[in-house]
Structure 1
């Protein structure tokens, strides 16, 4: 089988992919596999591990806290050095810490079975946010949570996030 790809000089530095995710527990894995393929295909392999973790948390949040489908959007930024991951779901509630209320991050008791995922996103993402969509996307309302991931920063020979 023959595949066709544009020469490297013709590849757009900015790109976007969208994926409709049904209300299915397997959607989180499908989102991760898609993300890995997209980032590898755009030569952004150094972002895969961090982006995969944060994408999993955003999609899991959509699955656990809404009763409908979700949408994943991946967008290349800054000439292929960063990626923005956005997840839409049908629940309009913006959870902490994405609600940007002032104060310290909320405390999650050690015995809690959940509540840490979005704190991970906030900690490891270079930028993050969320906003309600009203009756926007497909007339469904809901919210959009997003984060941006860039390459690891190297400090004295050790990569850190």
Structure 2
């Protein structure tokens, strides 16, 4: 009842201000003020004000909002802790390394299918060695991306 009275008084005051503005020959502004001043009466007539007043004055509703806020705070806290923990970064790095396959050092020999140690040695000698510049070139392409990912902790 009180909320409806307040909304009616606000609408009446707004229509009075709109009338004064129209008297000063500012019709566009007066029309906007009149439109804004009719909104509270419209809300009263549709029942929105009664519904909102019922929600605002119930303690159980405020307790519910408090519980929702606490749940949100817990979610955000756990997310922040997870991002800052060192073990998560190690797990991500291990997963990335496993996803790319085993990284081979530029000077290391490739594994062979034969089991004998003598067979692997001639193969490694027959193969021409790559230049260090060629091996470093692909790393240079991704160095900017790696720097950005490290900056963001990924």
TM-score with structure 1 setting the length:
0.21
Looking at secondary structure, tell me which structure has more strand per residue. 1
Which structure has more relative contact order (CA 8 Å, sep 6+)? It is 1
TM-score with structure 2 setting the length:
0.21
